[in-house]
Chains A and B, each alone.
Chain A
Amino acid sequence: MALRSVTRRIGSKFLPMFSSANLLHSHATSFGFKEVPEEEKSRLVGNVFSNVASNYDLMNDLMSGGLHRLWKDRLVSELNPFPGMKHLDVAGGTGDVAFRILDSISDVKRRAMQDVREDDLQEQTKIYVCDINPHMLNVGKKRAVEKGLGEEGSLIWVEGDAEALSFQDNSMDGYTIAFGIRNVTHIEKVLDEAYRVLRRGGRFLCLELSHVEAPVFKELYDYYSFSIIPAVGELVAGDRESYQYLVESIRRFPSQEKFASMIVDAGFQKVEYENLVGGVVAIHSGLKL
């Protein structure tokens, strides 16, 4: 089991490193390996996603060999959705995670038939999909219609910024962000917002491309990221720069341990992370109390 827990101890252990994290986000911020002014990053990221929106799913499948589906399944099973849940999926424009949560809840409902109360609760389930990019949201809405969920009242599509959510304090049972937090300008602000909107007992879960440490695998993975992905991006989506940005931004994202300590610092408890495929992706989780 690659599951590793990070106690709050890390908070103190990694305090010195926070200074470097802050530097990263002071005046200039990273856009891939480039340093850009803070104001620029969100515009540049916005461009990237507007460019790739139409081919987003195809490219995800190609780049991860279809594994991203399993990763998202894993994320949702970690979340353990339940009927009546109020959930916020940030940066989930294409609805991948939201659809899975909805499926999982109706499945739970079938299993827990003996509890009559659950039927009413099912109606109260609300899954908010929040994305800063309207192009990505449109992809998701279209897919919802294709899946026959167009009329589904549980799905609510919201255009919004993860750093300044439009939701009330203590209003959510769950918060997920899959492959999104890497692209924001201030990770700390996003975490603070997540903490704010969650109820007591609510959980924060983050699925993100992360850092591979295993020696030989790391070389292979680097070669794959820097040589193959941009080429495939150019070939399939006709956009080399966007995918160059993607692989560079993964390298600039804090390591598993450091990101975990940032989550702790936002106030979450029981912060843990789990590496999948040797750290190609990691699922971080935290509990608000």
Chain B
Amino acid sequence: MYRTAAKRLIVGVTSGINGIHRLRLPPPSTFLDHSSFSTATNSQEFPNSQIPNQHHIRQETPTSSDSASSSSSSWSTSTSGEETRSHENRRPRVEYQEEQARVLQAALSHVVKLGWTEAAMIAGARDIGMSPSIVGSFARKEAELVEFFMDDCLQRLIDLTEAGEGLKNLILRERIYKLVRARLEMQAPFISKWAQALSIQAQPANLATSFKQRAMLVDEIWHAAGGDASDIDWYVNRTILGGIYSATEIYMLTDSSPDFQDTWTFLDNRLKDAFDIKKTVQEAKYLAEAVGAGMGNSLQGFVGKLFQR
């Protein structure tokens, strides 16, 4: 966790896209929060010291829903501390971030049928016995559902790498291949609706978060694969990896081979290319292609969604 937190700071500085008010970031899932909450409360200190703190508070809080707190001990931001304090004399309460996360989690099971939509969120809220009115409290509705999924996948990927299964004996390229594949396999169940998710991410209001989530993902993959260089290569490598990841993601959308075999071949080839050629020109071209394909496909998905109505 400390490692990701530290890197996130660097992401904020280097990406430049969203570095202004997102410099100091709490653990991943806090994008779900209302932005003004996170800006208001994150300015105090760096997450390092918050994490043990938070657990401390959490134990004090009388929990009326164990399921919520167990599934999401790291969901709440530093607001939880303050909220608890000012209301310790009142009835036991659940933090709304946790409840929203539960709604989103439940909504995921409806995504395949209903898409990344408010309808899925409403159905999710019904599933956990919560009034669907809560959907109105999400400022960016379905975008927050997609972002929740992205954060969830990132968390799962981190857990996976920390478990460190079968990565040790491989060379760098193979480790990257495994990690990218593991991450992309997480969205395989949603592949029929993934174009829609990309189009939601590409909407102007959501772009900042999407870029950041992707930067964090690439960062995590690169780090977990063991790429430790901190010179200029570090930026270049990350950029290329980002390009390859996006390109593979787009390739996967139209891949109808069993278990996405073609996609994995494509990924492997791209990684080989990158490692073999190591020509900046070539790398820049990949990136341009990937970005172009990404934008085009998102747009296509968006237009498709419009006509679908």
Contact = CB atoms under 8 A, between A and B. Distances in A.
Contacts of A198: 131
Contact of A111 (B90, B94, B99, B309): B309
Interface stretch (A5-13, A35-43, A210-218): A5-13
Contacts of A200: 99, 129-131
Contact of B133 (A3, A11, A85): A85
B63 to A, nearest CB: 12
A173 interface: yes
Interface string A101-142: 000000000011011001000000000000000000000000
A82 to B, nearest CB: 5
Size class of A's contact patch?
20 to 34
B79 A7 contact: yes
Contact of A9 (B82, B113, B130): B82
A203 interface: yes
B114 interface: yes
Nearest to A87: B133
Nearest to B68: A289
Contact of A267 (B37, B85, B91, B118): B91
Contacts, number: 101
Contact of A5 (B40, B103, B117): B40
B157 interface: no
Contacts of A173: 131-133
A15 to B, nearest CB: 8
A30 interface: no
Contacts of B37: 5, 7
B93 interface: yes
B136 A80 contact: yes
Q: State the 5 A-B residue pairs at the shortest beta-carbon distance, nearest first.
A: A80-B136, A201-B131, A201-B130, A201-B134, A12-B86
18 contacts: A4-B36, A7-B79, A8-B82, A8-B86, A8-B87, A9-B82, A9-B83, A12-B82, A82-B118, A82-B132, A82-B133, A85-B133, A115-B114, A201-B99, A203-B131, A287-B137, A289-B96, A289-B99
